[in-house]
Amino acid sequence: MEENQVISMPRIGDKAPEFKAMTTQGEINFPHDYKGNWVILFSHPADFTPVCTSEFMTFASMEQKFNEANCKLVGLSVDGLYSHIAWLRTIKEKIEYKGMKDVEVTFPLIEDITMDVAKKYGMIQPGESDTKAVRAVFFIDPNGVIRTIIYYPLSLGRNFDELYRVLIALQTADEFGVATPADWRPGDDVIVPPAGSCGSAKDRMDGKEADMKCYDWFFCTKKLDKDEVMKKILKK
């Protein structure tokens, strides 16, 4: 029976699965301990591997930038706590990458030898590996709701500019009641939600809503100043 057990993967809009775990920064109760903050929960395949090392150095170097946007970082692999500690010490003492060196990882790295947490979040994908977590990324909002999920295979390192862009775009959509188009970055035009009635659609097309540019009734954009966006998001 155990072979046929199906573990449902969490979906966008679900509450983040709860767990308690030991980390390199002590025990955490997730997501309860992070209420009021955005969280990026991410997994990596194994300690002492080169792609993971490059990723942890990048995340650690950007941690302050994420924190300023009210976002905490939490890592996970299926290795043990002592392996985590030894690996992070090696990163600080020996590794240099893209000008980064003497990098100290201060965000928590979860010990998950039993793979309980990894399985709750669908991080173990047997088609890729049944003993290592894939490179999963979960964006969890201040209410503990999963807002974005990104999965990468073992061989592919993540794009950290994109992870930061996603975080800012999610918060922008929430704060300003808009959507963000393809390749959006702060300062670019945003998408105004479609008109809710024939009357308002006509008003838009007649130019009665002056702050919008409408290409058709369903596709309207407006300016949103970069400084306004970042001031709102970084105010915390």
Judge whether residue 182 has pLDDT over 50.
Answer: yes
Lowest mean pLDDT among 42-51, 108-117, 119-128, 180-189: 119-128
CATH 3.30.565.10 fits domain 177-234: no
The CATH-assigned architecture of domain 2-170 is: 3-Layer(aba) Sandwich (3.40)
- 71 is an active site residue: no
Lowest mean pLDDT among 4-13, 100-109, 118-127: 4-13
**Catalytically annotated residue among 52, 71, 214, 220:** 52
Tens of pLDDT along 26-68?
999 999 999 999 999 999 999 999 999 999 999 999 999 999 9
Distance CA 66, CA 40 (A): 9
Under 8 Å between Cβ of 87 and 132: no
Task: Kindly give, in sequence order, each residue whose CB lies less than 8 Å from that of residue 226, ignoring residues fewer than 6 positions away.
Answer: 186, 187
Question: Residue 200 — pLDDT band, cuts 50, 70, 90?
Answer: low
135 belongs to an annotated ligand binding site: yes
Tens of pLDDT along 3-25?
445 456 899 999 999 999 999 99
List Cα–Cα distances, 10 to 31, 122, 198, in angstroms. 14, 7, 38
Domain boundaries, the chain: 2-170, 177-234
Same fold, 2-170 and 177-234: no
